[in-house]
Amino acid sequence: MNANNLQVLSILLERAESERDEGRKQMQEAQARATHARAQHGDLAQYRNDYQQRWGQQFADRGTMDIVVCYQTFGGRLDQAITSQTQVADYADQRLEQARARLQELEMRVASIAKLMERRRLEISRAGQRQEQKATDEQAARASLSAFNPFMRLSA
């Protein structure tokens, strides 16, 4: 393990974080679209209910056949609009779930790379400690030998 490996991992982590941030943005946009679609569906359904309550009884009691037909035709169109909006909202919900799943994958990738980098740093640190310990042990061994062997002092 060396610094080049960490540098490559660092670049990879930056890219993964960028992709994750883009995924988060896409998920938030999908959330906004799904919320808007559901709100629009709710508004249409509420309008249909208000329309039926306001005009239904009035046209049934005092309306001509033409007006009743118009009332029913418009009510049918409202039902079609609500059905269509239900499909739009369902599709928006599906897209939101896909965006959430993608974001989760991207977040896991970032976490995996970060964890791998931490392991590599730890390995480099341990290797450095082992090298330092080895050097210290060798110095101690030389010092010990030179203390007992006078000829070692002259050659060292």
Residue that wins the pLDDT comparison between 20 and 3: 20
Residue 5 is predicted with a pLDDT of 85
Secondary structure letter of residue 12 according to DSSP? H
> Which residue do the tokens 């660092």 mark?
10
Residue 80 is predicted with a pLDDT of 97
Residue 24 is predicted with a pLDDT of 97
Please name which of 93, 87, 107 lies closest in space to residue 30, comparing C-alpha atoms.
93
Residue 150 is predicted with a pLDDT of 59
Domains and CATH numbers, the chain: 3-138 (1.10.287.1700)
Across 132-156, average pLDDT? 73
> In b/e form, how buried is each residue of 8-40, taking b as 16+ CB within 10 angstroms?
ebeeebeebbebbeebeebbeebeebbeebbeb
pLDDT-based confidence at 63, cuts 50/70/90?
low
Q: Is the pTM of this model over 0.75?
A: no
Give pLDDT tens digits for 69-106. 888 899 999 999 999 999 999 999 999 999 999 999 99
Residue that wins the pLDDT comparison between 137 and 97: 97
Indicate if the pLDDT at residue 27 is higher than 50: yes
Cα gap 66→74, rounded to integer Å: 12
